[in-house]
Amino acid sequence: MSYQIISIAGLLYILSMPVYIIYILTKNKKLGFVATGILCSGALIHIYGFIQRFKEMYSINYSIMRSIPITNLYESLVFFVMCIILGYLFIEWKYKNKSFGVFISILAGITIGITDLLGITKEVQPLVPALKSNWLLAHVTLSFIAYAAFAISFITALLHVIMGSANKRSFKYIFSTFLLGLMVFMFISVILDILTGVNPKSVKIFHSTLLNSSVILSIFSWILLTALIFLFWKFGDGIIKILQNFKITSDFLEDITYKVIAFGFPIFTIGGLVFGAIWADQAWGRYWGWDPKETWSLITWFVYAFYLHAKFIRGWKGTKTSMIAVIGFLVTIFTYLGVNLFLSGLHSYGSM
């Protein structure tokens, strides 16, 4: 089954993370190639799994345009990770620079990992009537490509803020190191959750750590989380500055952040908002209806529009603009997952 193949890809993404770390610490070029190799083979297996899933979808839907496997939450998360990895590999190849791979592998690991922990179905499902449209391909794929671009810009922007902040007491530094600590903790917790999950149907996110049934382990996890965040706050700038040995400068991060957003924003506008509006016009009889998903997409669009205006017109430079990119991705996550988990609306295909 396709989801087993995709799980192997996820395992490889998780594996590449420690290799990237050792590469950065030892500066051993061979290890760098190994890390990229693991990530690449993960991506190839992932693409193979994606094609298998496509075939499985085709065997029930009999339509090429409507068999792209992005029709439920699991499939969309898988596609999202695939776009992040391919996008990152492209950047790594283009700029011959492989050191923010650690954080990409963390993000990919968490995302593939939580598909096991949210209790969502991994089975191939037939299409509901509302999704039977050729706009499915255009609207959904482009939206997730844009989300993936925003995810990559989030990583570079986060590193840029941490690297570029002179003052450890400034809000943006505290906030960014907090997010980084949280990400690393989630990465560890997701791995533990999956390893200790006996019955795959009842496992929940954080069940082995923060929400552990044993009070001692739970308290210990909270302490560990706090300690991790504190460590990142205390030594974050130092850790990130190691990256400067790898030509990852503040300017490079700022430039990549901008380029990825400049790529993602028009795709989001066309695929997410415009194609979404056209499809809604045909399927629901209105192009815009303030459905929670629509509203939050507009908010996401506003945040990135703000980023571009700040960049071009106000001449904001440095960490301030990158901070907008960080917040932009948090809003994107809410648009993507939060709306489906907490709010109800017409876009319920992605719910659990």
Q: How far is the CB of 303 from another protein (least distance, A)?
A: 7
Q: How far is the CB of 199 from another protein (least distance, A)?
A: 25
Q: How far is the CB of 289 from another protein (least distance, A)?
A: 9
Query: Residue 20, by phi and psi: left (phi above 0), alpha (psi -120 to 50) or beta?
Result: alpha
Nearest Cα residue to 208 out of 195, 223, 226: 195
**295 vs 351 by CB, closer to another protein:** 295
Q: How far is the CB of 3 from another protein (least distance, A)?
A: 20
Q: How far is the CB of 207 from another protein (least distance, A)?
A: 25
Grouping H, G, I as helix, E, B as strand and the rest as coil, residue 345 is: coil
Measured at the CA of 11, the angle between CA 326 and CA 336, to 5 degrees, comes to 35
Query: Is 181 in contact with 349 (CB distance < 8 Å)?
Result: no
Strands, DSSP E only, in the chain?
none
- 126: how many CB neighbours lie within 10 A of its CB? 10
Grouping H, G, I as helix, E, B as strand and the rest as coil, residue 346 is: coil
Per the structure block, which two tokens stand in for 144? 């997730």
Tell me phi and psi for residue 323, to 5 degrees. Answer: -60, -40
**55 vs 286 by CB, closer to another protein:** 286
Q: Tell me the CA distances in angstroms from 167 to 170, 222, 233, 257, one per residue in order.
A: 5, 27, 11, 22
**230 vs 284 by CB, closer to another protein:** 284
Query: Residue 58, by phi and psi: left (phi above 0), alpha (psi -120 to 50) or beta?
Result: alpha
**132 vs 241 by CB, closer to another protein:** 132
Return the DSSP state at 212: -
**Cα(35)–Cα(14) distance, rounded to whole angstroms?**
11
**129 vs 238 by CB, closer to another protein:** 129
Q: How far is the CB of 327 from another protein (least distance, A)?
A: 11
Q: How far is the CB of 293 from another protein (least distance, A)?
A: 9
Q: Which residues bind another protein (CB under 8 A)?
A: 126, 128-130, 132-133, 251, 255, 262, 265-266, 269-270, 274, 277-278, 281-288, 290, 292, 295-296, 298-299, 302-303, 305-306, 308-310, 313-314, 339, 343
**211 vs 278 by CB, closer to another protein:** 278
**19 vs 145 by CB, closer to another protein:** 145
